[in-house]
Amino acid sequence: MAAKSLALNFIIGVMLLCVALSETSRDSSMRQVTDDSIVNDSLLGTATEKRFLSFMATYGKSYPTRDEYVHRLRIFAGNVIKAAEHQALDPSAVHGVTQFSDLTAEEFERMYTGVVGGGSQMKSGLMAAPLLGVDGLPENFDWREKGAVTEVKKQGTCGSCWAFSTTGAIEGAHFIAAGKLLSLSEQQLVDCDNKCDPKDKRECDRGCGGGLMTNAYKYLIEAGGLEEESSYPYTGKRGKCKFNPEKVAVRVANFTNIPTEEDQIAANLVRYGPLAVGLNAVFMQTYIGGVSCPLICSKRRINHGVLLVGYGAKGFSILRLGNKPYWIIKNSWGKQWGEHGYYKLCRGYSMCGMNKMVSAVVTQVF
């Protein structure tokens, strides 16, 4: 008990210190990024610029003008500070420079996330699925090992994460139903799906401007199904709808929301296949690897759609108090991001709101 009390006091102390440092450094970095007249000369120092040039080479970045280069360098310097803050707040993961380190938080959210509406699980108008028994669940489980998950995809600078989350769930459901893994078309959803949430008509699927996975399921039920990636390939921008009903590869029969209890999420994952999930992506801009378990992460501000494919029993340890379980999440930012395109998030804490918007889908075999 004494060790746990000491550990708890230590964590609280770290939290308070990190928040104080975060506010100070954030104020400083925001002044640096937004007001050229008060940028410190040291921001453009040799060490920072060398690191920025290395970042550009690693991720194939280039900028059309000197002014744009300097602007991105300033943002990069601020994001290096942000990564250090995230590391302090999320010590069980590794944070640092990523392909998003030259983007402001607003740019990152606009271009690389895309879930609209915040995070109410019941927005679709459906009640959550009935509770399942959780006794006897495997200690570790991964749909990738069973062949139900396609390769990591890349949404590009398009807020279409919701479409990738949707297709991932349908790909897994079709594999379970038909025994065949197909890569399905996100572009059909980006181009053709205009479905709106029944409880809030402002929350509509609008291509690169964001959407909801439950809206997408409804569109697919009404449209008659989803084409394969090969027949309707991804372009990363919204275009004219070219959906051909004769090329439908998978039909959606039904879908359901999953209860918010994480044991129920695990049970539904094991029984029904990979699940579409919404979460708060704030720590993902700087994430490199490990199990993310931040001390502070809003559960309400859900802005990114991903695919839950599995879980592990022992992934990380805080202050040597024992290994803790985690979720395995497929993202849509390419294999160069995170752990070969995947994100590990601690399990059992409603972390970053990952339990608030979870859905499963059922497909028809024809």
Catalytic residue numbers, as ranges:
161, 304, 331
| CB contact at 8 A, 229 and 333 | no
Tokens 């509406």 belong to which residue?
117
- AA identity, residue 271: R
Cβ neighbours of residue 112 closer than 8 Å, sequence gap 6 or more: 100, 155, 157, 159, 161, 281, 304, 333
* Alpha carbon separation from 174 to 95, 169, 178, 218, 253 (Å, rounded): 35, 9, 6, 17, 11
Cβ count within 10 A of residue 221: 17
Q: Is 325 strand, coil or helix?
A: strand
Q: How far apart are CA 76 and CA 100, in angstroms?
A: 9
DSSP code, position 338: T
Tell me how far the alpha carbon of residue 69 is from its chain's centroid.
Answer: 28
The answer to whether the beta carbons of residues 172 and 252 sit under 8 Å apart is no
Task: Say which residues have a Cβ less than 8 Å from residue 31's Cβ, sequence separation at least 6.
Answer: 38
Query: DSSP assignment, residue 100?
Result: T
Q: Map residue 65 onto helix, strand or coil.
A: coil
- Contact yes or no for 330/50 (Cβ under 8 A): no
CA–CA distance, 297 with 92 (Å, rounded to integer): 14
What stretches of 201-261 show up as alpha helix (H) in DSSP?
Answer: 213-223
